[in-house]
Amino acid sequence: ILNVEQSPQSLHVQEGDSTNFTCSFPSSNFYALHWYRWETAKSPEALFVMTLNGDEKKKGRISATLNTKEGYSYLYIKGSQPEDSATYLCASRGGGSNYKLTFGKGTLLTVNP
């Protein structure tokens, strides 16, 4: 069984604050780690796909790192804006299945103006 855990479950920050979330996943038979941003009433939007240990990716004010040996990934948001408010989901591909994603429960971020 592949368990993906995310923390915290929810987070409230002020506009301009920087923040980060954690995703942990089983490190054995790992293929890839996906991060999604999901706003209410919209489709989950792909942020990053990472495969290699030590990967670091950046998209605007959002960045992510990957440690496949210890099974964790961090997502960072620099200078949070109200439009960053969303649920951030991570999902792992691995554990003997290279085609399906196993999701965590997500981190709900609320950025107050």
d(CA 57, CA 6): 19
Window of 11-19, 36-44, 57-65, 73-81 that interacts with other proteins by CB under 8 A: 36-44
| Residue from 11, 32, 77, 109 binding other proteins (CB under 8 A) | 32
Binding mask of the shown chain, residues 48 to 77, with x at each position contacting other proteins by CB under 8 A:
-x----------------------------
99 binds other proteins (CB under 8 A): yes
If you count them, how many residues does the chain have? 113
Beta carbon nearer to other proteins, 64 or 91: 91
Strand segments, DSSP code E, in the chain are 5-7, 10-14, 19-24, 30-38, 45-50, 56-59, 62-67, 72-77, 86-94, 97-103, 107-112
* Residues in touch with other proteins (CB under 8 A): 4, 6, 31-32, 34, 36, 41-44, 46, 49, 89, 91, 97-106
